[in-house]
A and B are shown apart, each in its own frame.
Chain A
Amino acid sequence: MKKMLEVRWHGRGGQGVWTASELLARAAISEGKYIQSFPEFGPERMGAPIRAFTRIGNEPIQMHCAVYNPDVVVVIDPSLLKAVPVTEGLNDEGILIVNSKEPPAEIREMLKVERRKIWTVPATEIAIKILNSPITNTAMLGAVARITGIVSLESVEKAVSELFSGSIVEKNIGVIKEAYKEVKSE
Chain B
Amino acid sequence: MAVAKQKMLALNGDEAVAYAVKQSDVDVVAAYPITPQTIIVERFSEYVADGEVDTEFVCVESEHSALTACLTAAATGARAFTATASAGLALMHEILYVTSGCRAPVVMAIVNRALSAPLNIHCDHSDSMVERDCSWIQIYVENSQEAYDSIIQAFKIAENQELLLPVMVGLDGFTLSHTLENVQTLPDDLVKKFVGTRKFPLVTSHEGKNVPFKLDPKKPMTIGPIDLYDYYFEHKRQQEEAMQIAPKIIQQVHKEYAKISGRRYGNGLIEPYHLEDAEMAIVCVGSTSGTVKTVVNELRSKGTKVGLLRLRTFRPLPVKEITKALENVKAVAVMDRSLSFGGHGGAVFHEIRHVLYDASKHPYVVNYIYGLGGRDTSPNLIQKIYRDLQRILETQQIEKPVQFIGLRE
Contact = CB atoms under 8 A, between A and B. Distances in A.
A169 B250 CA distance: 46
Contacts of A68: 378
A29 B10 contact: yes
B180 A25 contact: yes
Nearest to B173: A41
A62 interface: yes
B10 A64 contact: no
Contact of B376 (A32, A34, A35, A65): A65
A64 B182 contact: no
B179 A60 contact: no
A25 B144 CA distance: 15
Interface in B138-172: 142-143, 172
Contacts of A65: 288, 291, 376-379
A64 B378 contact: no
A36 B180 CA distance: 5
Contact of B10 (A26, A32, A61, A62): A26
A64 B178 contact: no
Interface string B368-397: 000000001111000000000000000000
Contacts of A66: 376, 378
A68 B142 CA distance: 21
B8 A29 contact: yes
Contacts of A22: 10, 180
B39 to A, nearest CB: 13
Q: Chain B, interface size: which category?
A: 20 to 34
Contacts of B8: 29, 32
B179 A63 contact: no
B10 A41 contact: no
Nearest to B175: A64
B293 interface: yes
A35 B180 contact: yes
Interface residues of A, number: 20
Contacts of A37: 10, 179-180
Contacts of A29: 8, 10, 182
Nearest to A4: B294
B181 interface: yes
B122 interface: yes
Contacts of A25: 10, 180
A38 B182 contact: no
Interface of B: 8, 10, 121-122, 142-143, 172, 174-176, 178-182, 287-288, 290-291, 293-294, 376-379
16 contacts: A26-B180, A32-B8, A38-B178, A38-B179, A41-B122, A60-B182, A61-B181, A62-B143, A63-B291, A63-B379, A64-B142, A64-B143, A64-B172, A66-B376, A66-B378, A68-B378
Interface of A: 22, 25-26, 29, 32, 34-39, 41, 60-66, 68
Given A26-B180, A41-B122, 10 more contacts: A25-B10, A36-B179, A37-B10, A37-B179, A38-B180, A41-B121, A62-B291, A63-B291, A64-B176, A64-B179
